[in-house]
Amino acid sequence: DAGVIQSPRHEVTEMGQEVTLRCKPISGHDYLFWYRQTMMRGLELLIYFNNNVPIDDSGMPEDRFSAKMPNASFSTLKIQPSEPRDSAVYFCASSLAGLAETQYFGPGTRLLVL
Amino acid sequence: QQQVKQSPQSLIVQKGGISIINCAYENTAFDYFPWYQQFPGKGPALLIAIRPDVSEKKEGRFTISFNKSAKQFSLHIMDSQPGDSATYFCAASNAGGTSYGKLTFGQGTILTVHP
């Protein structure tokens, strides 16, 4: 299996622009997680889905952030409008039902908002 | 109560030495405690995990020690190698609760093993 696939790997944008991060989970996995990693705050869970349905979005920092999972093989995390403080590495992870705590992480998207 | 506190923030060990990273938690409902390893430019990867019904789990050079009464668990890396240099995260989850699958991560420990 190819593992969790994320795109783009790097994104540089200007403040106020819309940013869309993409994730393809491992085939057959039922859970999908979006994390944000910064030096100051460490690894934070933003939102997670089970069978394409959002289960917990309490980590989404504010209304500028939104996430969707239209089908089992694709999810997006959108930031609109972006701000410099959104600069971070964003990870997507997936896992199987029954072993949901065993999460497989993608390589991440490094976002820089100028 | 959802926090997992990890120490130290950074650790330098000589090749062949023992690396020890500690974590403490407050939520007594946590029942799964994994450790993740992250190399620069990569996503975290599961290294080893333990459930509270045992006090120790060993996989190769990596051992988790778990103290339920103290609400603490630690990762020991025996015979540390330069290739072990990475950031290590402890985590915890409550498999039986409404947050099934949700991991709470510690702040991470940057381990450097000198040759």
Q: What is the pLDDT of residue B36?
A: 96
CB contact under 8 A, A101 and B101: yes
Mean pLDDT of chain B: 93
Q: Which residue of B has its CA nearest to A38?
A: B107
Q: Which of A42, A45, A105 is nearest residue B43 as measured by Cβ atoms?
A: A105
Q: What is the pLDDT of residue B98?
A: 67
If you average pLDDT over residues B31-55, what whole number do you get?
93
Choice between A100 and B29, residue whose per-residue pLDDT is larger: B29
Q: Which residues of A are less than 8 Å from B108 in CB distance?
A: 42-43
Residue to substitute from A36, A103, A104, A109, interface B, most B β-carbons within 10 A: A103
Q: Measure the CA–CA gap between A48 and B93, rounded to whole angstroms.
A: 14
- How far apart are the CA of B21 and the nearest CA of chain A, in angstroms? 16
Q: What is the pLDDT of residue A23?
A: 98
Q: What is the pLDDT along chain A (114 residues), one digit of tens a residue?
A: 689 999 999 999 999 999 999 999 999 999 999 999 998 888 999 999 999 999 999 999 889 999 999 999 999 999 999 999 999 999 999 998 766 678 999 999 999 999
Q: Which residues of B are less than 8 Å from A55 in CB distance?
A: 101
Instruction: Kindly report, residue by residue over A84-97, the tens digit of the pLDDT.
Output: 999 999 999 999 87
Q: What is the pLDDT of residue A2?
A: 81
Q: What is the pLDDT of residue A47?
A: 95
Q: Which residues of A are less than 8 Å from B34 in CB distance?
A: 101-102
Instruction: Kindly report, residue by residue over B49-62, the tens digit of the pLDDT.
Output: 998 889 999 999 99
Residue to substitute from B23, B42, B102, interface A, most A β-carbons within 10 A: B102
User: Would you list the DSSP string of chain A?
Assistant: ----EEE-SEEEE-TT--EEEEEEPPTT--EEEEEEEETTTEEEEEEEEETTEEEE-TT--STTEEEEEEETTEEEEEESS--GGG-EEEEEEEE-TT-TTS-EE---EEEEE-
CB contact under 8 A, A56 and B99: yes
Q: What is the pLDDT of residue A100?
A: 65
Q: What is the pLDDT of residue B100?
A: 74
